[in-house]
Every structure is written in structure tokens, then in C-alpha cells.
Amino acid sequence: MELVTLSRVFAPAEADLLAARLEAAGFTPFVHGVGAALSMEGYSMGSGGIQVKVPADQEEAARKFLMEAPIADAWGDRFRTVYDRAMEAFHSGRTSVATLCDPVDTAFLLESGCSVQELFDFIEDAAGWGEPDFQSVLEVQQIRRDYFLGPMCGQWSGKVVPMSELPLKTDAVDGIAWLPRLMVKARLKLRGEMPSDLMYGCGGDRPFLQRMGMTLPGFLELVRDSGDDDRAIIEAVKRSRDGASVRG
């Protein structure tokens, strides 16, 4: 049977999602090259990536299907399913990080750049306070996932920054308290290096960003795009705050 490659991806979770999507639509997918794709620099497209293939006689229909149902949508659907299962587990009494997710969902999260602790924090706050809403969580995790699979090549750094290294909640820049701490938290979120008792999007972050006229995913994108340029972040936050004040 002749096989043709439909897509090359960076991480096993990505390949599994694409294959599952194709199989559910009636195609016969095959995943090749998981081991070969792992290089010293992470998952490398140059070394062939992880290849998702189908029989040659399915190629045309499968490519049309993928154009209409991209893998990003598949990942979002899967994340929603995992989130909903975690919320149900939390309400049923599984209110600890150790009991929240089964091994399959845990593996999916880790291969997407999300720890169970991070999901637990979102679930716990949503259950207790009604926020953050799912869409905000999804967008935050999409940003982290893109950073994880892109600049970080699908590899966790293995580093955890201790709480003692964070700015204090009362530290301020240009008269804006909380901002120095939140900038550091956002960078740790992008890199997956937060300690277990720190949350991006906590009950302090959410009202602060609301006052600044910003959102959790919007601020994370700003930090990602600004790199190490603290001043660019500060000035953008000030402009957003002033604009929100005028609109209010």
C-alpha cells in the first residue's frame, strides 16, 4: 500500500490529534518518524518531523478535509474536552492536582506545554469565583502552546523559578503597582517555569488587567512580542490604561 505524507508536525500530541481527526472522518492515518524527529535541538522539520500519512487513494479527499478542519481546531476541541472533564472531576470531589486528570489527559496537557497544576488553578478559580472564563483559558494556553512548540521546540526547560525571585506585589513601575510582578509571571508562564504556588491569571492579575483595559491573553501576547524589552510592555500598559480611562 502506497502512503503519502499529508503533514509534518513537531510533537507527538500534534500528530496524535491530527491522526484522530482523520480517523474520525473515515480516513486511515499512519504516524511515522516520532523517534527520528527528535534531534538535539528538539523536533526538527529539517530531519523530517513527525509525518502523518494516508493511503495514496485518500490523499485528495484528506487534504480537502484538512483545509476545512485545521489541526488547530482539533487541539482546541481536545483541550475543551479535557477542561470539561477536569471541571466535572473537581465538582465530584477530586479537588487536588494529583486526582484531577487521568494519565491520558495529563500526557495531552504536558505535550501541549500545560501542567496539571496550571489547569487545576484555572479550574479552581472558575469553580469558586466564576472566572477566568473558558475562552480566556483557551487563548492563554494557545499562546503558551505556540511558544512551547515553536521557540522551545516542544521541550520543557526543567527550570522552576522560586517565589523568592519574583518582585513583590507592592513593587511598582511608573507608579503602577503589581506590573513588575506580572511581567515576570507572564514570562514564566510562556516558558513553563512557574512554581506550583504561582498562577498566571490569579485573583490579583485579573482585576489589575481589567483596570488597565487589558485581558489575560492580550497581556501574555504583549509580553511574548516584547521579548526582554520591559519599557515596551510598560508603555503599552500605560496607553491601554489611559485609553480605558477615557472610554470609562
DSSP notation for 216-232: HHHHHHHHHHHTT-HHH
Alpha carbon distance 162, 158 (integer Å):
13
Strand, coil or helix: 81: helix
Each residue's pLDDT expressed in tens, for the chain with a length of 248 residues: 899 888 776 667 677 778 887 888 899 999 887 665 444 334 444 445 678 899 999 999 988 887 776 655 678 888 999 999 999 999 999 999 999 999 999 999 998 999 999 999 999 999 999 999 999 999 999 999 988 888 888 889 999 999 999 999 999 999 999 999 999 999 999 999 999 999 999 999 999 999 999 999 999 999 999 999 999 999 999 999 998 777 66
CB of 140 closer than 8 Å to CB of 220: yes
pLDDT for the residue 15: 78
Q: Residue 11: its pLDDT value, please?
A: 66
Cβ neighbours of residue 4 closer than 8 Å, sequence gap 6 or more? 53, 54, 55, 56, 59
User: Using one digit for the tens of pLDDT, what is the confidence trace for 106-163?
Assistant: 999 998 999 999 999 999 999 999 999 999 999 999 999 988 888 888 889 999 999 9
Question: What sign does the CA torsion over 37, 78, 182, 217 have?
Answer: positive
| Cell triple for 24 | 474520525
Q: What is the pLDDT of residue 185?
A: 98
- Cβ atoms of 200 and 140 within 8 Å: the answer is yes
Q: Are the beta carbons of 178 and 203 closer than 8 angstroms?
A: no
CA distance 6 to 213: 42
Q: Note the pLDDT of residue 99.
A: 97
DSSP 155: -
CA end-to-end distance (rounded Å), the chain:
65
Q: So what's the pLDDT on residue 40?
A: 34
To 10 degrees, what angle do helices 12-24 and 103-111 make?
120
Task: Determine the distance from the C-alpha atom of residue 171 to the mean position of all C-alpha atoms in its chain, rounded to a whole number.
Answer: 28
Q: What are the φ/ψ torsions at residue 184 (nearest 5 degrees)?
A: -65, -45
pLDDT of residue 100: 97
Q: State the pLDDT at residue 48.
A: 54
Helix (H) or strand (E) segment spanning residue 202? none
User: Is the backbone peptide bond immediately before 132 cis, with ω within 30 degrees of 0?
Assistant: yes
- Give Cα 95 distance to the centre of its chain: 22
Angle at 104 between CA 103 and CA 105, to 5 degrees: 95
Distance CA 26, CA 15 (A): 17
The predicted pLDDT at position 36 comes to 54
Q: CA–CA separation, 97 vs 117, rounded Å?
A: 6
The pLDDT mean for the chain works out to 88
Question: pTM for the whole thing?
Answer: 0.74
Contact 13, 111 (CB under 8 A): yes
